[in-house]
Structure 1
Amino acid sequence: MAKVGLFFGSFNPVHVGHLIIANYMANYTELDEVWFVVSPQNPFKKKESLGNMYDRLEMVNLAIEDTDNLKVSAIEFGLPQPSYTIDTLTHLAEKYPSHDFVLIMGEDNLETFSKWKNSDVILRDYHIYVYPRPGYSGNTLKEHPSITMTQTPMMELSSTFLRKSIKEGKNIKFYTPDKVLDFIEKKGLYS
């Protein structure tokens, strides 16, 4: 049974922080693969602030195309929006019965996790690998048996910072792979 980590996000745009987290999870934990699950709409984010979902999917594809144990999933594109993690997990479990799915999330998400739809069911039925985030540390959920705190390198980089930098005409080389940068420039995204 393949153990697959699900890394949900808007990836608007994908950047080296996302890639480092995914690579760490795929290579330094017992996960066989990590899937970037590109969310068409996060229930906690304003829809108009999101880049086109197909552009965001393509940028993740470009970022990971030469990597064996990192994949991209558009599974949520065909599900009702906004996407709730529990619904996606249920759908994936039915579609891939030979996979053992693990949720990957940042420590910041633990703060609001109790507000998620069916968070109790997620904790009961799934394992969650948590990567550290700057400024977060005292969450009681950390002690839950379904939660594994990882030693993933801490990342301060955010997609918001990249979008703001592009809008201001700043150079974002090294923050995202060159292929993603070329795609952003060709399509005039975020400017």
Structure 2
Amino acid sequence: MNPTTLTNGDVPQPTLASDIDSTETMTLDTYTFPTERLKTVMSSPNKTPLVLVSCGSFSPPTNLHLRMFEEAADYCEFETDFEVIGGFFSPVGDAYKKAGLASANHRINMTRIAVRDSSTWIGVDPWEPLHKEYLPTVKVLDHFDYELNKVRGGIDDSTGQKKQIHVALLAGADLIQTMSTPGLWAKEDLSRILGHYGAFILERSGTDIDDALVSLQQWRENIRVIPQLIQNDVSSTKIRLFRKRGKSIRYYIPDKVVDYIYEHGLYADDEKKQPEKGKEKAASESAPAGSSIAATS
């Protein structure tokens, strides 16, 4: 839910659903790091264990957001000495105040729905949106590093030894463009994100990565560019635009996320002006019984 302002000017800590199918809630005080989809033992002890973290709005999550993780996992397997042991969506909190941003509760629910039946290794971490203040990306990556290596002590390398887990940022090419724009990112944040953690960047049509990398040359060896072999330029912005225009959004995003959007009336310009149309659309586009379920900004 969105935080509400109290009479004394203080903003309470956000409260989120603890699980998509649960009526229980969690706050930052009751938060626990989600580990159920992490590998507990490495398959290849000679490799470096890696956790991929994708930060963004995910309003809504698209099939391309999911595909980024798969592309990165393939790239790591065939082109690097990393072994991917897990991946996480980390939706930004409500304090980000971005246009078209659904509430953190809805975005957490949608990302959980997106991965629930479509993946065995991608999870959703609510730690970032459980904060009432906006958190820079570097603090989110530090959080994952702390939980994985300080709290959990790393991962069993299959020989009985523990290995430290490398955390890296996973993002689309548009993020690298913002990083190369003077003044948008703090230099110390870029140094830690790209110098210490590194990034896996998926190519995106219409984005000139080579041009963006010119001003980031000092960290070039830690920026791994993944070619997008099948072009896909679906974006959350385009999905929201389709929704406002009353167009179908099915097959651009996971089916059950589409159902959730219509059920909760998300991203329509003014649901009150066309309640019947909204209801008809939701009914006509609901998934048929027995259909398969697939579960960036």
TM-score by length of 1: 0.89
Q: 1:40-51, aligned counterparts within 5 Å?
A: 40-41=93-94, 46-47=97-98, 49-51=100-102
Q: Is it true that 1:95 corresponds to 2:147 in the alignment?
A: yes
Task: Give the secondary-structure state (helix, strand or coil) at the position aligned to 1:96.
Answer: helix
1:60: how far off? 0.9
Q: Percent identity among equivalent residues? A: 28
Q: Is it true that 1:74 corresponds to 2:151 in the alignment?
A: no
The one-character-per-residue Cα deviations of 1:106-129 (angstroms, maximum 9, x if unpaired) are: 222112215323111222211211
Q: Comparing both structures, which one devotes a greater share of its residues to helix?
A: 1
The one-character-per-residue Cα deviations of 1:110-163 (angstroms, maximum 9, x if unpaired) are: 122153231112222112111112222222236711111112344211111111
- Residue in structure 1 matched with residue 224 of structure 2 by the alignment: 148
Match of 1:177 among 237, 250, 254: 254
Q: Is it true that 1:108 corresponds to 2:174 in the alignment?
A: yes
1:62 counterpart letter in structure 2: I
- Residue in structure 1 matched with residue 136 of structure 2 by the alignment: 84
Structure 2 unpaired stretches of 5+: 1-47, 77-81, 155-164, 269-297
Q: Is it true that 1:186 corresponds to 2:263 in the alignment?
A: yes
> Using a 3 Å threshold, how does the CA distance of structure 1 residues 174 and 159 change in structure 2: closer, same or farther?
same
- Residue in structure 1 matched with residue 87 of structure 2 by the alignment: 34
| CA distance, structure 2, for counterparts of residue 100 and residue 40 of structure 1 | 24
1:85: how far off? 0.6
Give the count of matched residue pairs: 189
TM-score by length of 2: 0.59
Match of 1:14 among 61, 65, 74: 61
Match of 2:205 among 113, 134, 154: 134
1:11: how far off? 0.5
| CA distance, structure 1, for counterparts of residue 169 and residue 252 of structure 2 | 25
